[in-house]
Amino acid sequence: MPHWSIGPKGNAWMDYTSQKPSFKIKKALRYIRLYGIRRTLIKIKGQYHMKKKFPTLPALENPPEKGGHVGLIGCGNFAFSNIAYYLKKNCGRVMRGAMDIDIHKAASLFKEYDLRYYTGDADKIISDPFIDLVYIASNHTSHAEYAIEALKVGKSVHIEKPHVVTGDQLKRLCAAMSESKGKVELGFNRPKSLIGRTIKQHLDSQTGPAIFNWFIAGHEIDPSHWYFKEEEGGRILGNLCHWTDFIFWLVAPENRFPITITPTRGEKSDCDIAVTYVFGDESIAAITFSAKGHTFEGVRERFAAHRGNVLISMDDFKDLTVEVVEKKHKVFSLFRDHGHEQNITNSYGMVRPKAGHIHPSCSVEYVWETGNLFLKTREALEQNKQIVLHPFDNSIVKKM
């Protein structure tokens, strides 16, 4: 039987470091084809990073070496192989400090990416006067809490998904945004990908309501996984929020509301489920999320859409086909691209914009509406009932 482990940011993951050499080789070769050599190597390093234990923790300068202005809270696999990797690749040695409640993970990321310090205390990152941007990739229930504290002292934040796990957190996060000079970006990466942007461009060229269909094959997760802790929000908030946000983004703001959410489920409420959405302009979206076993190539996605004369089909953010009546256009990415690089570097641009480039941050309205959508999707599935959503009302934040 394969050996499974629990990853602190993302799905349950198979511990590839414990597999047979033949399995490791096959996995590495497949990932080279999907992601290229450099990304595959850092993904492999990420597996060993998750298990790293130092006999003696690395020494630190006191006070820390000068330089860097980016902080990181949460040093799991995603932070190691995506956030830190893409920041260093595109922005240079800009990271200053890293924090994790597991000090060995913070130390491992510190060593790999040549940071100025590491810590087990988030307050050190938040109160550091040299840090103006904080990437938050900790456990889900802490995302909003860290973000709120950072916003209170004027820092900008990139919040990995989900940005909240409760309605109270959503209200307090939006209130903090409205009172802070800091900016906010969310970790919804798919709209930033080339294929995601191409899909929206072609759908926006047409008029009238649309039909969207997502099929997602995710990993099976052990019932003891931390995703299933009540306070962490389960798989709807941990996984499905990616696709609720994407379909929300595809519909023009003036056409979104009211949104009617209709769940379809068996015994379980957050995996092996389907949910449909009817938007204000009568666009319809259906998401089917299956988690019945291990997928060798990671999460698999298939998307289809139809609006006006445009017919779209997409597989795994690698292959896209756009048909407009007799014309057929194909977009093929050499490597699978979910938009992580663009999303992470776009957030960096909030505080260090490139000349001639605009890096818009998220509005309070968008943070509220996309958060409320996945929170109410979870509620609809848990209670097995239909729910109708209405647009953001600023009076909710003013009452905080």
Output the pLDDT for position 32: 87
The predicted model scores a pTM of 0.92
Output the pLDDT for position 22: 77
Output the pLDDT for position 10: 38
b/e map of 292-305 (b: 16 or more CB within 10 Å)? Answer: eeebeebbebebeb
391 and 256 Cβ atoms separated by less than 8 Å = yes
Output the pLDDT for position 282: 98
Q: HEC string of 15-61? A: CHHHCCHHHHHHHHHHHHHHHCHHHHHHHHHHHHHCCCCCCCCCCCC
Beta bridge partners of 300: 217
Output the pLDDT for position 400: 59
The answer for residues whose C-beta is within 8 angstroms of residue 129's C-beta and 6 or more apart is none
128 and 96 Cβ atoms separated by less than 8 Å = yes
Beta bridge partners of 387: 261
C-alpha span between 400 and 395 (Å, rounded): 9
203 and 344 Cβ atoms separated by less than 8 Å = no
Output the pLDDT for position 360: 80
Q: Which uninterrupted H or E stretch holds 217?
A: strand 210-219
Output the pLDDT for position 294: 77
C-alpha span between 174 and 120 (Å, rounded): 27
DSSP for 353-370, written as a single string: PPTT-------HHHHHHH
Q: Which uninterrupted H or E stretch holds 312?
A: strand 310-315
Output the pLDDT for position 8: 39
Cα 64 to Cα 54, 117, 384, distances in angstroms: 20, 6, 53
DSSP for 269-305, written as a single string: SSSSEEEEEE-TTS-EEEEEEEEEE--TTSSEEEEEE
3-state secondary structure of 352: coil
3-state secondary structure of 341: helix
Long-range contacts of 225-234 (CB under 8 A, 24+ apart): 225/6, 225/12, 226/6, 226/8, 226/139, 227/11, 227/12, 227/140, 231/141, 231/165, 232/139, 232/140, 232/141, 232/165, 233/140, 233/141, 233/162, 233/165, 233/378, 234/269, 234/270, 234/378
164 and 144 Cβ atoms separated by less than 8 Å = yes
Most distant CA atoms of the chain, gap in Å: 67
Output the pLDDT for position 6: 34
Q: Which uninterrupted H or E stretch holds 250?
A: helix 241-250
For residue 391 the two structure tokens come to 């647009």
C-alpha span between 244 and 273 (Å, rounded): 14
For residue 145 the two structure tokens come to 């809490």
C-alpha span between 399 and 308 (Å, rounded): 42
pLDDT along the chain (400 residues), means of 10: 36 59 80 87 92 96 94 97 97 98 98 98 98 97 98 98 97 97 97 97 98 91 73 87 98 98 92 96 97 82 98 96 95 91 96 78 97 98 97 77
Domains, the chain, in order of start with CATH, read 1-189+339-362 (3.40.50.720), 190-337+363-398 (3.30.360.10)
Burial of 243 (0-12, 13-18, 19+ CB in 10 A): buried
Output the pLDDT for position 12: 44
